[in-house]
Structure 1
Amino acid sequence: MVKQQSEDCDSEGEPYGPSAVDIVLDNPEVALRQVGRDDPIVTWAPSAADLFDLGEGFFLDFPGSSLSPECIYERDFNKYTADEPATVYAHIVQPSDAPGKLVVQYWTYWYYNDWNNKHESDWEGISLLFDASSIDEALAATPIEIGYSQHEGGERATWDSNKLERDGDHPLVYSSAGSHASYFGAAVFLGRGASEGFGCDDTSGPSDSISPEVVLLPDAVDDPDDPLAWVSFEGRWGERQRGPFNGPTGPASKDRWLDPLPWFDELRPSSVVIPAGDSEGATVVEAFCGVVAAGSNALITFTVSPAAAIIGFLIIFSVLKFIAGRTDWTRVSAEPLRRRRRVGQIIRAALVTYRGSPLLFIALGLLYLPAAAFAAAIAVFARLIPFVGEFIELARPSGGTNLFMAALAGGAVNLAAFVGVSALVAEFLRGANRTSGGLRDATRVTWARRSTLLKAFIRTYATVVILMVSIIGIPWGIRQIVRYQLMPQVIVHEETDARGSLQRSTELVHGRWLHTAFAATAINGMVFVTVMGLSLLLLVGAASIPLWAFSALVTLLYILVAPLAAIAMNLVYGDAVAATQGAPVAELVSVD
């Protein structure tokens, strides 16, 4: 199963298919090169005989640059395969140390690998394990186990496993777009390889079903005139590059070619699926996919042009340093609340306040626990509503609807949770009792205001969503997001109703829209970077962590950092009130 392209050169789909190596053999546009100074060309249009018994010091070189593929490889592939059928290569192994076992390997050749580790050519495959002493016994039996290769590792399943889809006696393989890693179903997975690092493997549909021809490969070839003489080629099947961007070696160069059982033993029982039904987990993984793609592009840039990459990093660093230097980071007191402060001073004062009573503020952040549970419940119950469930199932192959529903429902709950935490923190800081007793008082008072907070949030969320969905209303939606930033603090400190809180927040932001936008972006960006950064480290350190545990840890991170952002936004409110009262910034007095 290969993910469909919506149009030519569409990077979201799969432009290639499993093909015969004949498309690159005897091809006048393909060169055989020898490793050395300037990698001299040995011959153009190398044949199978030319590759016979060549060692590691040789490689094939296709038209184009593997690090800057553009649409060259796709166009060439379509040209080379115009009259060629899809092909896979079969290889039968009877391990000498396991006479009662037989393995049938299916190897697929792909013209180009368009993943994090871009390179010319790609070899992937699956293996079927039989309890059989001969080929005849295997033909009369069913496999006991099947393994799918994925980035130097893979995943296994028993033949009667529910996750294995079959078309009669043929297993279905879902090939990841770009990387060609093999999976048992349609989804977005976390891929991992020792040399390629982490990335996202997309097998979600819609997909095209391919039924390839099968060519049987021998263990070894001794005759250079044999059409399969290329099996003995130990060089690279693509352009020579550094590290993971190097062209791959062929099937016979792999350890499992003649010794497949150790490979089976190392396969995982499952793969890590991106949690599309959980907004927080999905957000982190989407960010992870973006970070990995950006990191891969940065590595490619550095490989192709180190000077350009270094200049780019210096420019980014200079811009961030310039932005940070536009504010004042001197330490000022968080008291009194209604006082002018720069954005840097607000963030620093918030950190000092948080460190003063971390456990109490973390306790206030526990509101994210029921919010996370409620968001998960929404995702489950939405499928039970007839028309919603049918809509999700109808669009399920694309995966986009699940993500949209999760973002719409789960995102609303998470935003509501932050509004609640902001109100709790503002009420706690408003009181004089900074102990557990003050925490209980803040919780009681905020609970009494729950109706006002909920109404104000619904008004805000509905207004912004309607504007943003309309496309042309996006600028106004962004404007309203900033205007309503101080709504929770207004409800707490000025005890207004829902409509009045939005009007008052708009008044406080009037004339200070850019300042408020910068402050809110810096504060929420601090939360986002902290949560995403720690979550990405978690993914890198423990890729096999269960999804429920991963989502729980993401929620825990929000519990830890959301109160800090709420403290900072409370200080933004105090600064806005002081500004409307004409208090000059010059009145600031550093506590240092």
Structure 2
Amino acid sequence: MTARTWRRALPLLACAWITMLLGSTQAAAAAAMSPEDTAAQALAERYAPVVRLQGDSSNCANGEQFQPTDVEAVLGDQQVALRGPWRPPELVKPQPEGKDLGLVFPGHFLDFPGDPLRPGCAYAEWSARINAVHPATVYAHVAADPAFPGRLSLEYWFFYVFNDYNNTHEGDWESIRLVFDAATPAAALRTTPTAVGYSQHGGAERARWGDAKLEVVDGTHPVVYPAAGSHANKYGRRLYLGRGSEGLGCDDTTSPRAELRPRVAYVPMARADYLRQYPWLAFEGRWGERQRSFFDGPTGPNMKYSWTAPLQDAETTWRDDSTTVPAGTLLGPSSTNAFCTAVATGSNLVRETLDRTWLLGLVLASTVALIWFAASRTRWSDANPLPARTRRAWGQTVVAALRLVRQRPGLFARFAAAFAVLSLLTVALAGLQVARRDAPTDLGAPTENATGFWASLTALAVTVLTIATYVVLLAAVTTTLDQLDRAVPMTAERALRRLIPLWKPLTRAAVQYFVVIAVLTLFVATIPLAVYYAVSRAFAVPIVVAEQCSGRTALSRSRLLVKGRWWRTAVPLAIVTGLGLAVGPVTGITLLLGTDLPPVLVNLVSSMLFALAMPVACAAVVYLYFDRAVPAPDSPGPGEHPGTDRTYSREGGGSVRHGVPPVRSGS
């Protein structure tokens, strides 16, 4: 045989030899396996979980970027390092392998490529690279518990290289457990599980075998829905709200991709046996970079109470259900959605400033300073509700609105009730959409089918009705204040009747106002223009009602009233409307964090508060309009000259006299 032929044959011979060696090693391991382990491995294969990860995305900021990973893909990788517990942590060994971790190394940690506080795409790209050559893997282990003789725990452990949730951190160990009323694996093969537990952050959720919420494939394979980023194991496709052991935040499993069946790597029952096969199970350090607080890397399965005493752990930490987020709200912003957003935003703020305490201090100090400045630059006293047409500081508009509601509770209660009735139409439309998605009975928890033509049409209808409700309420409050200013008694019914002749100009003003804003917000570059337009035309609806003019004239008139005082108008409007929108969600978040009330009841409470707060906010907006409409002493109003009668032309001919002198009777 020529040298050239030998050179070509040697790689093939080497591959064949390695294959034979691995095969003989596996055969020897199988031959050496005890009958108990043989039965346990068969049990692990029979109940191997089916994993339905969330949909992935080409953008590493969206979707699920990680899958259950073979530990061997991480150990020995050139981008992984073992570091010590000192400050700063010194390098102990680059590219550590399983046998290296077998030296225990308490207090040490594995350092993966990237910065867990600012992950970017580093972990996603690394995970994709190592998982491209290693199959998705789950580690199965059967264990007994001396405190519960005659019962066994079958555990499946999933390892992810990164937790891309509110508390981002390197490494993530999650598990599911099946409990058998059997003393041996062989006996467990002759029966079925009695209970199942899915790990979720600091706790786990229980299901009985055969429960409706437990989905099973082919009779024995439980289906697991890992939440996007956090990998908390869930039983279904829902949006879950976390408090306490459920984690803080919201877990999303609504958009699963095709099912994944990870390779089952069996872990022998006896410690000596599994350390011989998986020496890394002796590691007492952390599977991820050390960080402060909950951004720290986790310890491995062998350091968990659920590994050493699985049945005791199940008795003390498993709960019967998880809290799902309702698909919609009754009125106004959803407390549960606001809770999810607030937790995510707060977590991002903490994460970005964890290693830059000066920045966190600057943010907090700036926030306090802005609140103090805004509150100190206005007046809160001498805020009588009437006369309405008088100049007020923005603080006085808020106090005047509150006093007006206190003086006329029946009137504003009817406004709130009418607002609630109109708003419930949006709930009815949302309910129709939930019914079309065939959502379950838990108040329409969202599923992955909430897309398409009908969903878009329903969303558009809900948006239009929400805008119409706000416009009607703002107009009704305006005509009420206008008539009270003229010493004319008013009721909610009379106020609504007075709006009927004005439906055309109100519709014209509202449609142009919201359509222009919607178009301008389609592009990032024009968003500042949308904000400017929103503030400068914010008084169009009150102007139509109080000055009896057309929609187009009202928009122009509003622009003139705000001209030269844009910032002095924008800030009070933002504060007033922000307070009205925030009362319900802030109360809801407080209840979610401080009580065990169900989210449905919390959303109901926040919706009632929203219905009560919106008439107050509308009254404050109307007071801001009257403040702008009343000229300063001895100064002309917008578009007029000193000494002239303030008369503006209507569209289509005719004129109307504006600037009705303040009527002080009834104040």
1:245 CA displacement: 0.9
- Report if aligned partners of 2:197, 2:318 keep a CA contact under 8 Å in 1: yes
Label 1:193 to 1:210 Cα distance change in 2 as closer, same or farther (>3 A).
Answer: farther
Q: 1:355 to 1:383 in 2, by over 3 A?
A: closer
Name the % identity.
Answer: 33
Aligned to 1:288: 339
2: CA distance, partners of 1:385 / 1:83 = 42
* Residue 142 (structure 2) aligns with: 92
Equivalent residues of 1:524, 1:565 under 8 A apart: yes
| 8 Å contact from structure 1 (residues 276, 403) kept in 2 | no
Residue aligned with 2:621, SS? helix
580, 583, 591: which one aligns with 1:538: 591
Deviation at 1:123, TM superposition (A): 0.3
Residue type matched to 2:493 in 1? R
Aligned-partner Cα distance in 2 for 1:452–1:328: 37
Residue matched to 2:165: 115
Query: Residue 448 in 1 paired to residue 448 in 2?
Result: no
Secondary structure of the residue aligned to 1:132 is coil
2:575 partner amino acid: A
Residue aligned with 2:271, SS: coil
The C-alpha deviation readout for 1:443-475, integer Å capped at 9, x for no partner, is 220342464576666555544554415836977
- Does residue 216 of structure 1 match 2:266? yes
Give the alignment partner of residue 131 of structure 2, picking from 65, 81, 89.
Answer: 81
Match of 2:573 in 1: 520
> 1:557 is matched by which residue type in structure 2?
L
Partner of residue 192 from structure 2, selected from 142, 163, 175: 142
Deviations 1:156-191, CA, capped at 9 Å, x for gaps: 223323322232221221111111111122232223
Name the aligned partner's letter for residue 366 of structure 1. A
Q: Any stretches of 5+ residues in structure 2 without a counterpart?
A: 1-51, 438-443, 638-660, 663-667
Distance 1:379 1:370 in 2: 15
Over residues 102-159 of structure 1, what are the superposed CA-to-partner deviations in whole Å (9 max), with x where a residue is unaligned? 3211110000111111111000111122333332332233323222111111322233
**Which of 87, 102, 115 is 1:65 aligned to?**
115
Aligned to 2:626: 574
Equivalent residue letter for 2:424: A
Structure 2 counterpart of 1:7, which letter?
S
Q: Give the TM-score of the pair, scaled to structure 1.
A: 0.84
Q: Tell me, what secondary structure is at the counterpart of 1:367?
A: helix
In the alignment, the residues of structure 2 paired with residue 230 and residue 281 of structure 1 have an alpha-carbon distance, to the nearest angstrom, of 52
Match of 2:361 among 310, 318, 334: 310
Bigger Cα displacement from structure 2, 556-565 vs 324-333: 324-333
Q: Distance in 2 between matches of 1:524 and 1:5?
A: 38
Question: How is 1:216-295 mapped onto 2 (pairs within 5 angstroms)?
Answer: 216-219=266-269, 221-222=271-272, 226-265=276-315, 266-278=317-329, 280=331, 283-295=334-346
Q: CA contact under 8 A between 1:339 and 1:583: conserved in structure 2?
A: no
What is the CA distance between 1:400 and its match in structure 2?
Answer: 6.3
TM-score, scaled to structure 2: 0.75
Q: Cα–Cα, structure 1 residues 238 and 385, in superposed 2: closer, same or farther, change >3 Å?
A: closer
**Residue 562 (structure 1) aligned to one of 603, 607, 614:** 614
Q: Specify the SS of the correspondent of 1:579.
A: coil
Note if contact 1:416-1:457 (Cα within 8 Å) is conserved in structure 2: no
1:380 aligns with 2:424: no
Name the SS of the counterpart of 2:387 in structure 1: coil
Structure index of larger Rg: 2
Q: Distance in 2 between matches of 1:531 and 1:452?
A: 33
Query: In structure 1, what is the Cα distance between the partners aligned to 2:331 and 2:106?
Result: 46
Which range moves more in the overlay, 166-175 or 309-318?
A: 309-318
The answer as to 2:75 corresponding to 1:25 is yes
1-structure distance, mates of 2:576, 2:202 = 41
User: C-alpha separation between the residues in 2 aligned to 1:550 and 1:411?
Assistant: 23
Q: Distance in 2 between matches of 1:462 and 1:384?
A: 30
CA distance in 2, matches of 1:381, 1:365: 25
The aligned length equals: 570
Query: 2:84, 2:92 within 8 Å by CA — same for their partners in 1?
Result: yes
SS in 1 for 2:284: coil
